[in-house]
Amino acid sequence: MDWVTLIPLLPALAFVVLAPLSRAARAKLVPLAVAAVLGSLGLSIAAFLAVWPGGHGEVWQASVTIAHIGDRAITLGLALEPMSAIMLTVVTVVGACVQVYSLGYMHREDRIGWYYAVLSLFTAAMLALVLSDNFLGLFMAWEVMGLCSYLLIGFWHEQEAPRLASIKAFLTTKVGDLGFMLALAVVYAEAGAFDFATVLHHDWTAGTATLVALLMLFAAMGKSAQFPLHVWLPDAMAGPTPASALIHAATMVAAGVFLVVRAFPIFEASGIALTITLWVGLITALLAGLLAMVQHDIKKVLAYSTISQLGFMFIALGAGSSTAALYHLVTHAYFKSLLFLGAGVIIHAAHTQDMRQMGGLAKKLPVTSLAFASGSLALAGIVPFSGFWSKDEILAVLLHEHQYVAFAIALLAAFVTAFYVARLWFRVFTAPTQQEDLHEGHRSMLVPMVVLAVITAVIGFFGPTLGDFLGHEIPWPALGTAAISTVAALGGITLGWYVYGRRTSVVNTQALKQRFPHAYGVLANKYYFDLTYGYFVVGGYTTLARALATFDARVVDGVVNGVAAAWRSLSAAGWTFDGRIVDGAVNGAASAVRAAGDKVRTLQTGSVRSYQTLIAGAVVLLVVWILVKGA
Amino acid sequence: MDFPLLTVIVFLPLLGAAVVALLGNARAVAGRVVAATVAVVDLALVAWLASRFDVDGGMQFVEKLTWVPQVGITYHLAIDGMSLAMVALSALLTVLAIVASWKTEKNPALWFSMLLLLEVGMNGVFVAMDFVLFYVFWELVLVPMYFLIATWGGPRRQYAAVKFFLYTLFGSVFMLVGIIALYLQTGTFNILEMAGAGLDPKFQWWVFAAFFLGFAVKVPVFPLHTWLPDAHVEAPTAASVLLAGVLLKMGSYGFLRISLPILPDAAAEWSTFIAALAAISIVYGAAVAFAQTDMKKLVAYSSVSHMGFVMLGIASMTPEGLNGAVAVMFSHGVVTGMLFFLVGMVYDRTHTRMIAEVSGLSSQVPVAGGLLAFASFASLGLPGLSGFVGEFLSLVGAWASDIPVGWVVLSAIGVLLAAAYMLWLVQRVVLGSPSAAVSGIADLSAREVAVLLPLVALTLIVGLYWDSLLRFTDPAVRSILAMMGGA
């Protein structure tokens, strides 16, 4: 079964082949990258079938020792077990869809080869991440994904916005990654290894478990864009849309959730860490959902929606169900990548990302609108589309755990979700047409969307099967929860229709803004996070750095120059260097040795004080001697 | 007696330097061929030694001859895995420095002979196991570096060269005092024999202080670092590469070879202080680097920050920390070498090092821009590249040690700050549209790519397979720790 190694290796090789080539040569080899990810897809399905019917531990494992330190060995390894098998299929299906789609979407870019190279490296890293059998390997893949994310966000780096967005994304997630690094240090100090088996079976005390769990949670909050580290994801939309679909919707941003799932026993050993996770999720799910309501850029709506949905996964984790989190991760990966790919077609057709300038796309883009409908209904949580089932499972877990306040907030977030989905839908697809020249996407773009749309429509029926596969129960939704959540979803859609959908009397949103200026201001300014970070963190650090640079030049170096000047005037001669000083020092050493040799007797006294006197005396002698010679 | 391989490795460049100097500027073309040949042969000898090196064999290839019997000074060379890593770095970077400065027109005979003379000192420092010999090599390094800066440097080269010389000399005076004190106490100049001598802790403290000044200036540790940016900015490219790549490591090597094994009690007492200075160096260096407007100065301050991780690893006195320290020493030599080479290559074309005047390299010169971005990511510690290995191990070791958590966390923040100044550089210089200074310039030549490729390869190899380096350093580290425990 060592062929499992090929799953991440194929796209990695595609990167290795493409990266060093010239722009033109890379562009010619784009099919190689697509072939590599399709190969990984085939192997992932084979790997999935090898695990089938699942329900128990790993079926294959391989590792390599990369370092020996003292009496410990640091290994990196891959393991195939139910969870990694599911993630492999998700990553390769979405990855393959995105790569095929990009053939059409990116075909006019002259740097398409570089785009595919980075996409391949990203896919390799994500596949390595889900297969990794230890935290160090997971972290390394995690960081490589961050690099790819940076490179793709800044793909159009000649423009200012993508440049700034890319550095913002890298540094914001890096803030979280500090938590990961420190968590690894604690894990190593405590358990003496990084592999899941050793670390998770370690006898964690509540205190240390809490420390590790919170550090990892912090890392996950960065990668999965949870409040207050969410600020990078909306800006990341400056990258090419298919890359957003893969990285900033389906896979990389879910890596934070995946990390917590992997480390879940440590979170359980802590307890308090779970509660904090729950509240991070609740706050994020609701606040990001509210922001999605006021965006005009279609990609920004989807970006805040992603943040909010990732929040739902954190809610599931915090409520103690890693299975529900993973379930939502899977369904979300499919329907959100679908929505992003749909948005790509829409943006190409409408030549704008601003929904206010769109309308009537349903008639002009029939395939896209059908596929988009599948994704929208899933996101809104309408039965039988996938999001309904996984969101319901999260709500059910909250009820089961008697987390009623959390349940209410999550339900509100679900309502908000349905509202912004309806707002988007009615504005883009059914509002009056504002443009005439609208074209459906190329077939290479539509086929992947249809694939994802079908998956989104049917995958929910396999929930219990998925649960069996993972070895945890995923029940069919209880009628009561399902009814409540459906009412919330339909309520949100209805309100959305009422405000944005009716032809006759569209609600004057301008009037609403004027009526609630403060609330609107808070939302329009994204709760002032960006302003605060920009002013205090970035601005503060820049000011501090400049001050320190001045301090360094004037004070630290000033002292040095001052001493030198004093020395110069003492010796009453300029330091015109001619090599004598070197000789002086060496001779000085020799004569000092000789002089000291005579003094050996004195040292037999053994008193510390005399040694100190000797050292001080020697220093004085040498300094004086060099002064004399130097002058 | 066996073939004196270490002696040849150390002194072959001296022979080369003499030949190059004798050929003179009139036959400079022949001279640089001789220089390159000698440096390549030297590197090949190091590789040959490495292939015959027994990683678990401790000190090897020992050569010991009586030198000044009256006071027990010996000609004593030996090599362990840590020294081997440093000698390999020195031999490799010398070859690359010679190739990179192939077209030097100003007094080429002196230039190439000075580079070779520098290699004598650098190689010697890392294999000398007699204190007097060590000191001779230590000071020998100053002379060619002084001339390299003072003769081929920028507008303020005289100031920078003298400052470099005097500052490090100031440090080494204290080191000399320490050496003398140790000799008077133990009656030997043998570095290896002194380890575990069980010296009086009070005495150790004072000697440690003396060595600390000598080594800390060289590393450099905040606040003794201000000679470094001046030296780098004024130094010609090849000298910057060797200064950052090898000379700084002499300081941290001194801590590892001398201070820790010989003065273990003092080292334990000093560890928190060193860790604090290390953490401050890391954050302070990173912040000041962030504010720089000159590319070379930015890289210079980044060295202060990176060398802080070396000191943090040393202060931890754990296997992870010490391996991390040596790994950072090696990786910093490779990666910063790459950065200085690239900044130099960009300067050769644009005639400016000001960040504000250079932009859009990746559009105009994709090879140079791509490699600069690669080196930047290696420098900021991206996992899978060499920079990560040492910084990560230093942090892991520091966490496991008695170092107060605050200093460890502060150091970890340095990783974020490194990403900030490196990416901010990439942002302005590599990305965007070509600026006036950049438009029209040519991409790297085959010779320049050949200089960088070995460094790229090493960055990847060490980053992906840590044992390629650690298999040499770990036994050396374990023996250092054993000596400390035995005291």
A contact residues 511-570, partner B, Cβ 8 Å cutoff: 541-542, 544-546, 548-549, 552, 556-557, 560, 564
Q: Of A288, A291, A162, whose CA–CA distance to A221 is shortest?
A: A288
The Cα-based distances of A506 to A9, A416, A427, A435, A513 in angstroms read 54, 19, 11, 20, 15
Q: For residue A579, give the chain B residue with the closest CA.
A: B143
Please determine, for residue A213, whether its predicted confidence score (pLDDT) is greater than 70.
Answer: yes
The Cα-based distances of A246 to A148, A184, A330 in angstroms read 11, 27, 13
A contact residues 404-463, partner B, Cβ 8 Å cutoff: none
Strand partners, B130: B190
Average pLDDT for B279-301: 93
Residue B397 near residue A70 (C-beta atoms within 8 A): no
Q: For residue A624, give the chain B residue with the closest CA.
A: B173
* Residues on chain A touching B142 (C-beta within 8 angstroms): 582
* Residues on chain B touching A560 (C-beta within 8 angstroms): 163, 167, 226-227
Would you state the structure tokens that stand for residue A547, as one six-digit string? 């001050």
The reported pLDDT for the residue numbered A457 is 92
The answer to whether A163 contacts chain B (CB < 8 Å) is yes
Residue B145 near residue B111 (C-beta atoms within 8 A): no
**Residue A321 φ/ψ, nearest 5 degrees:** -115, 95
The answer to whether A597 contacts chain B (CB < 8 Å) is yes
Q: For residue A175, give the chain B residue with the closest CA.
A: B416
Nearest-Cα distance to chain B for A106, in Å, is 19
Please determine, for residue A507, whether its predicted confidence score (pLDDT) is greater than 70.
Answer: no
Name the average pLDDT for chain B. Answer: 92
- Kindly report, residue by residue over A409-454, the tens digit of the pLDDT: 999 999 999 999 999 998 888 888 777 777 888 888 999 999 999 9
**In this predicted structure, which of A95-104, A440-449, B92-101 has the lowest mean pLDDT?**
A440-449
Taking CB atoms and an 8 Å limit, are B383 and A139 in contact across chains? yes
Would you state the structure tokens that stand for residue A565, as one six-digit string? 């000047």
**Residue B128 φ/ψ, nearest 5 degrees:** -75, 125
Residue A460 near residue A386 (C-beta atoms within 8 A): yes
Nearest-Cα distance to chain A for B268, in Å, is 19
Residue A317 near residue A264 (C-beta atoms within 8 A): yes
Q: For residue A593, give the chain B residue with the closest CA.
A: B180
- Kindly report, residue by residue over B339-367, the tens digit of the pLDDT: 999 999 999 999 999 999 998 898 899 99
CA angle A222/A227/A233 to nearest 5° reads 60
- Cis previous bond, B223, omega within 30: yes
The beta-carbon neighbor of B319 closest among A70, A175, A592 is: A70
B contact residues 440-479, partner A, Cβ 8 Å cutoff: 464-467, 470-471, 474, 477-478
* Residues on chain B touching A73 (C-beta within 8 angstroms): none
What's the pLDDT band for A620 if we cut at 50, 70, 90?
low
Taking CB atoms and an 8 Å limit, are B290 and A593 in contact across chains? no
Average pLDDT for A363-373: 89
- Kindly report, residue by residue over B163-204, the tens digit of the pLDDT: 888 888 888 888 998 888 888 888 889 999 888 778 888 888
Domain segments of chain B: what residues? 5-483
Is pLDDT larger for residue A546 or for residue A602? A546
- Cis previous bond, B69, omega within 30: no
Residue written as tokens 């520091």?
A: B398
The answer to whether A74 contacts chain B (CB < 8 Å) is yes
Please determine, for residue A491, whether its predicted confidence score (pLDDT) is greater than 60.
Answer: yes
- Kindly report, residue by residue over B38-88, the tens digit of the pLDDT: 999 999 999 999 999 999 988 999 999 988 888 888 999 999 999 999 999
Please determine, for residue A208, whether its predicted confidence score (pLDDT) is greater than 80.
Answer: yes
CB atoms within 10 A of CB B198: 10
- Kindly report, residue by residue over B215-270, the tens digit of the pLDDT: 999 999 988 898 999 899 999 999 999 999 999 999 999 999 999 999 999 999 99
A contact residues 244-273, partner B, Cβ 8 Å cutoff: none
What's the pLDDT band for A371 if we cut at 50, 70, 90?
very high
Complex confidence, ipTM: 0.92
**CA–CA distance, A458 with A452 (Å, rounded to integer):** 10
- A463-470 helix and A386-400 helix, angle to the nearest 10 degrees: 60
Taking CB atoms and an 8 Å limit, are B431 and A577 in contact across chains? no
What's the pLDDT band for A619 if we cut at 50, 70, 90?
low
Average pLDDT for A95-121: 93
**CA–CA distance, B222 with B228 (Å, rounded to integer):** 11
What's the pLDDT band for A22 if we cut at 50, 70, 90?
confident
The answer to whether B44 contacts chain A (CB < 8 Å) is no
Q: What pTM value is reported for the model?
A: 0.89
Q: Residue A78 is inside which H or E element, if any?
A: strand A72-80
CA-based R_g, chain A, Å: 30
Average pLDDT for A542-568: 84
Q: For residue B162, give the chain A residue with the closest CA.
A: A577
- Kindly report, residue by residue over B104-158, the tens digit of the pLDDT: 888 888 999 999 999 999 999 999 999 999 999 999 999 999 999 989 988 888 8
The beta-carbon neighbor of A163 closest among B399, B431, B478 is: B431
Residue B276 near residue B221 (C-beta atoms within 8 A): no
**CA–CA distance, A631 with B2 (Å, rounded to integer):** 47
What's the pLDDT band for A631 if we cut at 50, 70, 90?
very low
What's the pLDDT band for A592 if we cut at 50, 70, 90?
low
Would you state the structure tokens that stand for residue A530, as one six-digit string? 């960006």
Residue A523 near residue A293 (C-beta atoms within 8 A): yes
What would the DSSP string read from start to end of B304-352? Answer: HHHHHHHHHHHHHTSHHHHHHHHHHHHHHHHHHHHHHHHHHHHHHHHS-
Please determine, for residue A327, whether its predicted confidence score (pLDDT) is greater than 60.
Answer: yes
**CA–CA distance, A481 with A593 (Å, rounded to integer):** 89
Taking CB atoms and an 8 Å limit, are A586 and B136 in contact across chains? yes
Taking CB atoms and an 8 Å limit, are A548 and B288 in contact across chains? yes
What would the DSSP string read from start to end of A342-400? Answer: HHHHHHHHHS-SBGGG---HHHH-HHHHHHHHHHHHHHHT-TTSHHHHHHHHHHHHHHH
CB atoms within 10 A of CB A276: 17
Taking CB atoms and an 8 Å limit, are A175 and B226 in contact across chains? no
The reported pLDDT for the residue numbered B388 is 94
Q: Of A20, A23, A29, A16, whose CA–CA distance to A111 is shortest?
A: A23
The answer to whether A207 contacts chain B (CB < 8 Å) is no
Please determine, for residue A613, whether its predicted confidence score (pLDDT) is greater than 70.
Answer: no
Please determine, for residue A218, whether its predicted confidence score (pLDDT) is greater than 90.
Answer: yes
Q: For residue B150, give the chain A residue with the closest CA.
A: A577
Average pLDDT for B9-38: 91
